[in-house]
Amino acid sequence: MVKIRPMDDRVVIEVLEAEQTTAGGIVLPDSAQEKPQRGKVTAIGAGKLGKDGDRLPMTLKVGDEVMFGKYSGSDVEVDGHEFKIMRENEILLRFDR
């Protein structure tokens, strides 16, 4: 895959299908369409620019499974695959590694 680097504290997320039953046993029924979505982090930024020019550390790692609001972030297409890109602070939760 083309290597991409999200800017600042952004993360790139591969959306996991709502119908899918995950390894963790989570089932999201049809009525969940307006609910937060689940995805997998595929790339992370260097962190938010602090006021002294340093980068604040990221919490997420590549491979983390997360949930985020259905309308959060922007759709991007890289190598014909669809991803979401959003700032880390828009992510609601991650599943334990």
Binding site for a second copy (CB under 8 A): 2-8, 10, 12, 24-29, 32, 35-36, 43, 45-46, 48-54, 56-57, 59, 66-67, 69, 74-80, 85, 88-89, 91-96
Q: Are 42 and 71 in contact (CB under 8 A)?
A: no
Query: From the CB of 53, what's the least distance to a second copy, in Å?
Result: 5
Query: From the CB of 25, what's the least distance to a second copy, in Å?
Result: 6
Rg of the Cα atoms in the chain: 14
